[in-house]
Structure 1
């Protein structure tokens, strides 16, 4: 049975970091329309810092919870504004869910999506419809929870969750921002994609693709 290990966490975060680097300019442009244009830089720098820290800690005997907590701290240190604390809370929640073990069955990986959503909700006190990253993580978590209850395989389930996240991000175009810097624009925020939701959907896409590749080579 394929597993998700502490070493896999490192490779997953390197995949996250690579995607955020690729999306850096685009996310900055989106944020420039309704925010302060730093979301691309923040996400690229934050996930790179987390990935590098996880790599340095390889072989130390650290389990999954320790890895998630390390990534959370690195993101918190590297990313300002609200994004860093929100993802730090998300990853801390993931550490609570997976525990300090060396590995878990790959079938449990969709629980990461649910944990991220729970952590963001807990820290930000927001909800889907506010035009934030929760408009991507929320639908993805709903799909993940439903699929886990129905015993859907992790690769299929994560792809379905990624599709839900992508749709959720696109749906933010029609929303008026209720939180963050964009909320100051009021109705003028309508017609623009939320950069946090777009980056969340990109991370969800990476997770789905990573799981597909991992299952193929296991």
Structure 2
């Protein structure tokens, strides 16, 4: 199990994220068909495949900056992911990378700080709040639990596992919500009863992180 998030963990993280999305592409499309444009699964699968391919070509020596790699991912996501998700996922990684700075490895505490900074950037880009029925509703509780676990002295593995569980809970909590952002908001009360596709893919992101940390 990894004791810190290194460049190798980040590359594995994104590869695992793509694997999960590829396997769940139809599920994401089904969710987005109900309250969106029915393209979230396709866009995420295709875009992440391009990002993973670019990362495999990226030279990441032991002294390379983890912050720089996260920002590299953010830039790749902006150009590769289609739809509304691209700028939001890009903002998350760009913000996290800026906070990570010149570090070459992130412990649980530093990872929590970086992801919180990424969420701040995501909110700045998408103006999301808790309860809007967006990816924020899965990511915010995940980062909160990650922070609490780090403050309690949990290692990186238990902290990211707890974050993944919190993301799942946050994702499921979007179903009864009334959408207040994005295309789903145009449906009004018809958006109630459907899990938000962005929250679903964001949960996959956190699950992939926990798996990458556990596997290292």
TM over 0.5: yes
Q: Distance in 2 between matches of 1:35 and 1:91?
A: 24
2:105 to 96, 103, 124: 103
Show CA shifts across 1:126-164 (max 9, x none).
Answer: 111000001100111111122222222221111111111
- 1:1-218 to structure 2, matched below 5 A, reads 2-59=3-60, 62-105=64-107, 108-214=110-216
The answer (yes or no) to whether the contact 1:113–1:140 under 8 Å persists in 2 is: no
3-state SS in 1 of match to 2:26: helix
Q: Distance in 2 between matches of 1:158 and 1:59?
A: 23
Relative to 1, partners in 2 of residues 1:115 and 1:45: Cα closer, same or farther, differing over 3 Å?
farther
Unaligned 5+ runs, structure 1: none
Task: Please say which of residues 71-80 and 32-41 is displaced more in the overlay.
Answer: 71-80
The answer (yes or no) to whether the contact 1:132–1:194 under 8 Å persists in 2 is: yes
Number of residue pairs matched? 214
TM-score (norm 1): 0.90
The answer (yes or no) to whether the contact 2:92–2:115 under 8 Å persists in 1 is: no
Relative to 1, partners in 2 of residues 1:73 and 1:98: Cα closer, same or farther, differing over 3 Å?
same
Q: Distance in 1 between matches of 2:60 and 2:196?
A: 39
Unaligned 5+ runs, structure 2: none
3-state SS in 1 of match to 2:5: strand
3-state SS in 2 of match to 1:37: coil
The answer (yes or no) to whether the contact 2:21–2:45 under 8 Å persists in 1 is: yes
What CA RMSD, in Å, does the superposition of the two structures yield over aligned residues? 1.9
Show CA shifts across 1:147-189 (max 9, x none).
Answer: 2222222211111111111011101110010000000000000
The answer (yes or no) to whether the contact 2:135–2:200 under 8 Å persists in 1 is: yes
- Cα drift, residue 37 of structure 1: 0.5
Q: Distance in 1 between matches of 2:95 and 2:19?
A: 23
Q: Distance in 1 between matches of 2:144 and 2:33?
A: 30
Which structure carries more relative contact order (alpha carbon 8 Å, separation 6+)? 2
